[in-house]
A and B are shown apart, each in its own frame.
Chain A
């Protein structure tokens, strides 16, 4: 490896960093004799950037030259920035050497578009093919599929990558066309369908023979930029919900818009990226995936945007005082999950522990329930529920639970547990 690769690395990492989907989970692969690496199902963060994001994969671009001119992207062709291109060998060696030092879980490869989508995609596929075949690399590989590339290349990529992704970026087509006139939703949804189709066919073939190679075992993911355009949270979450209903769609990421090209008047002028909103969207996303909530319960025509002051679950609870109080010693798991202050883990603990004893407030605290919140929504043994939201009023409970503003307008991000959850 030569010194000049260091300069390229700097340029191409800088260009790749705005993509937030860093997760490396979703597949488990034991190492194979003679090969290097393994993949852990739970996803490993090897470091954290100074903004607190997980560093799991070597997130890098093959090149940051691009023929397109998307308004929200730092690499758009009209930007005057330093440009570089890695050779296939350089990228392969870098990945292996970083991996051997336990810096990373694997590679996350994306790229600007050079010449045309297929030309670009073909070179990306060569990198991951080389890693998997020549070097027998068993670490994690996530590759971006280039919008508009051929089905055949998506298929080949799927044989070597654990996960493929195509970013929607802008939640509605109207706004996508506004900011990226050379793209449309079809160019995004096409490769998504190719991936989906590949996964379904592969599952069929593997039923017949276990020896058929797996096709993107960790499924696909996508990302939406939040706050670059005027979509409501309802529009965003509806899009997420639609995507999650597609087989093989594992994660939708939300990325608070960072005004990289402030000179472009199509973009809003933001002082700060909308981090609180981004965090609320992740929380809502969790409610969809793990808390058995429906989109319409989280946002509707009356409440098209998430409440920035309180989390979406508390927000739902305050709109539905009739649902409470929930009896800790009797309620079904599903209903326990609806209580603010009770998470998936503690709901499960409640269900197993109450087989032994009737639980009281003391026990709940020990189990790790946030009583500060939960007390207004439950009854248990001695806590007969004088204070609950159904006995007082949602406004009253809200006033107790909204964090007091100490001169700062936004809730303290540090207090939020789900900034980049996997």
Chain B
């Protein structure tokens, strides 16, 4: 059995593809640099991430794939589902090895998997776009903590930058401890070093704009007024509004 070790970055994964074709050995498993060696390993190659190599692989995919399906590979990567890197690896091999396009052959397991995982990630991206709740801080920044299941923040930036172009905002992934700050000009990645800023999914009350609480109360009361009691349906409610987001939803406090 042949295994590859790599640094668990997307560039690293693409470099692994490059190495595999170059050496003409194809791994059955992909391990991270510090994962424990498996039994029955015949050979282990350690990939050294190289932007030149990964760039060439990505270019090669550009020639053979439609932009939508190529994007799906990024989505699958961001899913962080265990084994998703191996799925992407196998998928890329099929793209390179087949004379015709495989992108629409959903009878193939990997093709179907890639589509299904990409859809899942896309759904989570939409949820973040829907469920992010900004709280205005005293210094005028609109701040939103959130903890998505997949690593989708990067996929939402275009939407938020376009929509909230005239206000400063921060969207912060509390699960992965990083976020993005938009300062009216550009969006940059940040990591907070204070752990008193966010408490229980909410911005620390002492740091809020004086009017913020009133608007939150108004929104909550609006939300409550909207429910029609003759139609209450808790199951449907939870299905649309997954419980894991409630912590961040002003109206569910």
User: A44-58: which residues lie under 8 A (CB-CB) from chain B?
Assistant: 44-55, 58
Binary A-proximity of B148-167 (CB < 8 A = 1, otherwise 0): 00000000000100111111
User: A30-51: which residues lie under 8 A (CB-CB) from chain B?
Assistant: 30-31, 33-38, 40, 44-51
Binary A-proximity of B96-123 (CB < 8 A = 1, otherwise 0): 0000000011110000100000000000
**B105 nearest CB neighbor, chain A only:** A356
Tell me whether B241 and A47 are in contact (CB under 8 A): yes
A100 to B217 CA separation, bound complex (whole angstroms): 15
Tell me whether B214 and A47 are in contact (CB under 8 A): no
B88 contacts partner chain A, Cβ-Cβ < 8 Å: no
A296 contacts partner chain B, Cβ-Cβ < 8 Å: no
With a cutoff of 8 Å between Cβ atoms, the chain B residues found around residue A54 in the complex are 240
With a cutoff of 8 Å between Cβ atoms, the chain B residues found around residue A46 in the complex are 130-131
Decide: A101 near B135, CB < 8 A? Known: A48-B237, A273-B231: yes
Tell me whether A6 and B218 are in contact (CB under 8 A): yes
Measured as residues with beta carbon below 8 angstroms from the partner, the interface class of chain B is 35 or more
A422 to B228 CA separation, bound complex (whole angstroms): 19
With a cutoff of 8 Å between Cβ atoms, the chain A residues found around residue B231 in the complex are 51-53, 258, 273, 275
With a cutoff of 8 Å between Cβ atoms, the chain A residues found around residue B233 in the complex are 50-52, 413-414
With a cutoff of 8 Å between Cβ atoms, the chain A residues found around residue B133 in the complex are 101-103
User: A1-21: which residues lie under 8 A (CB-CB) from chain B?
Assistant: 1, 3, 5-6, 9-10, 13-14, 17-18
B5 contacts partner chain A, Cβ-Cβ < 8 Å: no
Binary A-proximity of B217-252 (CB < 8 A = 1, otherwise 0): 111011101111011111111011100000001110
Tell me whether A47 and B251 are in contact (CB under 8 A): yes
Tell me whether A36 and B142 are in contact (CB under 8 A): no
Chain A proximity of B135: nearest CB distance (Å): 7
A33 to B162 CA separation, bound complex (whole angstroms): 10
With a cutoff of 8 Å between Cβ atoms, the chain A residues found around residue B134 in the complex are 100-102
Chain A proximity of B117: nearest CB distance (Å): 14
Chain B proximity of A171: nearest CB distance (Å): 21
With a cutoff of 8 Å between Cβ atoms, the chain B residues found around residue A102 in the complex are 132-134, 144, 164
A366 contacts partner chain B, Cβ-Cβ < 8 Å: yes
Tell me whether B107 and A359 are in contact (CB under 8 A): yes
Chain B proximity of A22: nearest CB distance (Å): 9
**B212 nearest CB neighbor, chain A only:** A101
B129 contacts partner chain A, Cβ-Cβ < 8 Å: yes
User: A139-155: which residues lie under 8 A (CB-CB) from chain B?
Assistant: none
Contact of B227 among A51, A94, A355 (CB under 8 A): A51
Tell me whether A59 and B162 are in contact (CB under 8 A): no
User: B187-219: which residues lie under 8 A (CB-CB) from chain A?
Assistant: 211, 214-215, 217-219
**B233 nearest CB neighbor, chain A only:** A52
Contact of B237 among A6, A52, A258 (CB under 8 A): A52
Tell me whether A414 and B165 are in contact (CB under 8 A): no
A349 to B105 CA separation, bound complex (whole angstroms): 9
**B171 nearest CB neighbor, chain A only:** A102
Binary B-proximity of A53-93 (CB < 8 A = 1, otherwise 0): 11100110000000000000000000000000000000000
A356 to B94 CA separation, bound complex (whole angstroms): 14
Tell me whether A414 and B164 are in contact (CB under 8 A): no
Tell me whether B223 and A414 are in contact (CB under 8 A): no
With a cutoff of 8 Å between Cβ atoms, the chain B residues found around residue A48 in the complex are 236-237, 240-241
User: A294-351: which residues lie under 8 A (CB-CB) from chain B?
Assistant: 349
**A357 nearest CB neighbor, chain B only:** B107
A36 to B163 CA separation, bound complex (whole angstroms): 7
Decide: A101 near B163, CB < 8 A? Known: A10-B225, A50-B234, A51-B227: no
A48 to B240 CA separation, bound complex (whole angstroms): 7
Tell me whether A17 and B142 are in contact (CB under 8 A): no
With a cutoff of 8 Å between Cβ atoms, the chain A residues found around residue B163 in the complex are 31, 37-38
Tell me whether B159 and A1 are in contact (CB under 8 A): no
**B102 nearest CB neighbor, chain A only:** A356
Tell me whether A1 and B166 are in contact (CB under 8 A): no
A101 to B217 CA separation, bound complex (whole angstroms): 13
A123 to B234 CA separation, bound complex (whole angstroms): 38
A102 to B250 CA separation, bound complex (whole angstroms): 11
With a cutoff of 8 Å between Cβ atoms, the chain A residues found around residue B166 in the complex are 34-36
With a cutoff of 8 Å between Cβ atoms, the chain B residues found around residue A10 in the complex are 221-222, 225
Decide: A9 near B237, CB < 8 A? Known: A31-B162, A50-B232, A273-B230: no
A366 to B165 CA separation, bound complex (whole angstroms): 42
Contact of B222 among A13, A18, A34, A36 (CB under 8 A): A13
A391 contacts partner chain B, Cβ-Cβ < 8 Å: no
A97 to B251 CA separation, bound complex (whole angstroms): 15
24 A-B pairs whose Cβ atoms sit less than 8 Å apart in the complex? A9-B218, A9-B221, A10-B222, A10-B225, A13-B225, A31-B163, A35-B166, A36-B165, A48-B237, A49-B227, A50-B233, A51-B231, A52-B231, A52-B236, A53-B228, A55-B226, A102-B132, A102-B133, A103-B251, A352-B106, A353-B104, A356-B104, A413-B236, A419-B236
Using a CB–CB cutoff of 8 Å, the interface residues on chain B facing chain A are 104-107, 112, 126, 129-136, 142, 144, 159, 162-167, 211, 214-215, 217-219, 221-223, 225-228, 230-237, 239-241, 249-251
Given contacts A36-B165, A38-B162, A38-B163, 18 further A-B contacts (CB under 8 A): A1-B211, A1-B218, A6-B218, A6-B221, A9-B221, A10-B222, A13-B225, A47-B241, A52-B233, A52-B237, A94-B218, A100-B134, A258-B228, A275-B231, A357-B105, A357-B107, A366-B106, A414-B235
